[in-house]
Amino acid sequence: MAFIISFFKGILIGVGNIAPGVSGGALAIILGLYEDLIHSVNTFFQDIKGNIRFLLPIGLGSAAGIVGFSNVLNYLFDRYPLGTTFTIAGLIVGLLPVFWHKANARGFKSYYLIPFAITLALSIYFFVVETGYTGSQPVEELDLMALLWCGFLIAGSIVIPGVSGSVLLILLGVYGVVLKAIATIDIPVLIPLALGLGIGVLFFSKLMGFL
C-alpha cells in the first residue's frame, strides 16, 4: 500500500514538473516528501537498499506523470494552440506575486545575483547563440549541450520549491521541443535530457542540503 501511495504522489510531482507555472518541489513539500527526498538523495550510498525502496515508487510515478501529462499538453498545443498559450500565460502571470514573495521571504542578498547571472549567461549561449534563436519562430531542435542544460534546469524545478522549470523553458523558447520529445518518447533527445536531469538533481539536492 505504501508503494502505491508513494507512486501516486510521484505522479502529482511529475505533473507539477511538466505543467507551466507549477513547481514539483513545492508539490513535494505539500505532499510531505520534500525533506525525505533531499535526505535520500544526499545519503543514497549510506543506505542504498532503504533509499531505493523510498525513491523507486516516487521516481516511477514522476516519470509516469511527466510522460502522461506531456501527451495531454502536446494534444492541447496541437488542437488549441492559442487558447493553451494564453491559459499558460495567465498561470505564469498569476503566480508572479507568489514567486516574488518566496524570493523575498528571507530578504534579498546581493550574492543571489551570481547564480542568476551564470544561469542566464549559459542559457543565452545554449539557446540563442548556438541555435540562432531570434524569437521570430520556435526552436525545432537542440544540440547535445542544450539538451543537457534543459535537463539541468528541469532538475531545479524538482528540487527547489517555487521554481518552475517549465516556465524557464518557455522563456527560452524550447518548451515545445522538450514537450514533444517526452510525449513521443524520442530516445536520442531523452537520453541527454535525462543525463542533465540526473546531474541537476544531485547538484541541487546537495545545494539545498547545504542551505
C-alpha cell, 197? 536531469
C-alpha cell, 102? 518566496
What is the full per-residue pLDDT of the chain (211 aa) written as tens digits?
A: 788 999 998 998 888 778 776 777 777 877 888 888 888 888 888 888 888 999 999 989 988 988 888 888 888 878 887 777 677 667 666 666 665 665 555 555 555 556 556 655 665 655 555 545 444 444 456 678 888 888 887 787 777 766 677 777 777 777 888 888 888 888 888 888 889 888 888 888 887 766 5
Give me the pLDDT at residue 89, please. 66
- Give percent helix, percent strand, percent coil of the chain, each to the nearest 5: 80, 0, 20
Give me the pLDDT at residue 60, please. 92
Q: Name the nearest CA neighbour of 196 among 152, 153, 139, 133.
A: 152
How far apart, in whole angstroms, are the C-alpha atoms of residue 102 and residue 5?
29
Give me the pLDDT at residue 120, please. 59
Give me the pLDDT at residue 137, please. 44
Task: Name 6's Cβ contacts closer than 8 Å, sequence gap at least 6.
Answer: 33, 54, 57, 58, 61
How far apart, in whole angstroms, are the C-alpha atoms of residue 27 and residue 16?
7
Give me the pLDDT at residue 121, please. 64
C-alpha cell, 75? 494534444
| Cβ atoms of 61 and 9 closer than 8 Å | yes
Handedness of CA 182, 5, 160, 210 (dihedral sign): negative
